[in-house]
Amino acid sequence: MALCRPPWPAPVPLPPSHLTSVQLRGQRTLAAGPFTAAPNGVRRARALDEDRLLEVEWGDGGKSLYPFTWLRDNCPCPLCTLQSAQARCLPLCRLDVHTGIDAVRVADDKVSIIWPDKHTSEFDPEWLRKRCFSSASRRAMREELFLNERVYWDSKLCVPTADFQEILRDDRAALAWLLALRRVGIVHVKGAPVVQGQVTRLSERIGYPRLTFYGHTWQVRDKPMANNVAYTSGALSLHTDYPALHNPPGVQFLHCLSGAQEGGESLAVDGFHAAEQLQREDPEAFRSLTSTRVDFTDTGRDYCDFAVQSKNRVIDVDHEGRVSRINYNNATRDSVLDLPVGQVQPFYRALKAYVEIMNRPQNVAVYRMEPGDVVTFDNHRVLHGRRSYVNGPGAVRHLEGAYLDWDEVMSRLRVLRRSVRGSGGK
Ligand code: OGA
Ligand code: NM2
Ligand code: ZN
Ligand code: ZN
């Protein structure tokens, strides 16, 4: 699996340290120059006092603008930043949001600013460049931090695989696993020992599992008096787990410990891709599912007794209208339907249209889990299901599952990226 490339070029060494330019308050021209700077180095910096912006001109000729207020707010000096926590200790009540600048100079590889109260801030050019406010720079930073670009797939998906022991042992393997989990949404981890506890080990490679009413981890088996349809031998239609919570688990692990005598094949669908097809083919249904809040319910006893209720949109979109989360489990969709009576039929029509698209054979990836396989997937994106099964003597189907949240998974991904890059990787 290809590793992530940084969206901006690797840092270029800056020119030798010497005073390169000076600007005093109100002056429109530079005191020093001309000089050369490396492409990512600072050629010039000047205060545009009218607009209260610092203009930085880079070695490659590009320019960036930084509001004075933002610069003062982010002063990295030990009075303004608790360096051991990399956290701001300058309170907002001490921030003058209309501050001017007394002087700017570029020296010793730093952009130095003297503020009207003589406080001084020194900014690292590379740090500034990453925080440029242009829309292209902000997009690059967004992708670097959140990796929101996905690769959509259908039934022909060749599910990415990773090796269990390698993930535990090797940072590069762990990073490749998490990058594929984020971009593709599903990765088969192979070679786990066939005993309980492996989804916990995998969660602890990242951080910690997410506790729910079904426990720290949970056993998917055909159980008498099952408190969930998953704990029967019946088929599970395509669903995401736990839409009865307002914050459903972001990531799910399912470890196969034992297969059935017959049946029990697994199904997976890219819910974002299916939602995009719905938007194209039936915009009215898409509008309905992205706006109607549907009631979900889950009542019973497991880790302790519970009575969970939620209202979720089947298709969540972000502030730019892009699909961001699927919330759908037909088993826990409540009979309470909080809609004016005239909207009930249109809602069912819309839901049916989405379910028909997700179930198209060209959208459904089918696979069979073998003991030692762990399927890891994005529970906000991938709808999953299973065919019904029949247990036999010595063939009792058993999966162990665990949930995690994306914040913790993304945190591990960023930490791994740093350590892999630091050791000379890309
Ligand atoms: C579940 C589930 C899949 C399976 O437990 O929620 O989707 O293959 N299980 O049993
Ligand atoms: N289990 C597998 O939404 C759901 O009820 C999903 C959760 C029981 C933990 C099933
Ligand atoms: Zn400071
Ligand atoms: Zn499930």
- Residues 60-79 have pLDDT tens digits of 999 999 999 999 999 999 99
Q: Strand 323-326 relative to strand 315-317: parallel, antiparallel, unpaired?
A: antiparallel
- Co-location of 129 and 229 in the same domain: no
Q: Is residue 354 part of a domain?
A: yes
CA distance 364 to 350: 20
* Model confidence pLDDT, tens digit, residues 10-55: 333 323 333 333 344 433 333 333 457 888 899 999 999 999 999 9
What lines the ligand 2 site, CB under 6 Å?
Answer: 214, 218, 220, 228, 230, 241-242, 298, 329, 332, 401
- Co-location of 44 and 95 in the same domain: yes
- Co-location of 101 and 126 in the same domain: yes
**Domains identified in the chain, total number:** 2
- End position of a domain, from candidates 140, 173, 189: 140
* Model confidence pLDDT, tens digit, residues 253-275: 999 999 999 999 999 999 999 99
State the burial class of residue 277 (Cβ atoms within 10 Å of its Cβ: 0-12, 13-18, 19+): buried
- Co-location of 89 and 184 in the same domain: no
- Co-location of 57 and 169 in the same domain: no
Distance 239 CA to ligand 4 centre (A): 6
- Co-location of 41 and 157 in the same domain: no
Nearest-CA residue for ligand 2 atom 5 is 242
> From residue 315, how far is each of 126, 273, 354, 384 by CA, in Å?
39, 12, 10, 16
For 6, the token pair is: 């940084």
Q: Are 71 and 54 in contact, with CB atoms under 8 Å apart? A: yes
Residue 109 has a pLDDT of 87
Residue 425 has a pLDDT of 66
Q: Is residue 390 part of a domain?
A: yes
Domain hosting 343: range is 151-422
CA distance 40 to 10: 9
Ligand showing the shortest atom-to-Cα distance for residue 94? 3
Ligand showing the shortest atom-to-Cα distance for residue 385? 1
- Co-location of 127 and 158 in the same domain: no
CA angle 262, 396, 305 (to 5 degrees): 120
* Model confidence pLDDT, tens digit, residues 308-348: 999 999 999 999 999 999 999 999 999 999 999 999 999 99
Q: Is residue 272 part of a domain?
A: yes
Q: Which of 386, 391, 398 to mutate to test the pocket of ligand 1 (most atoms within 8 A of CB)?
A: 386
Residue 155 has a pLDDT of 98
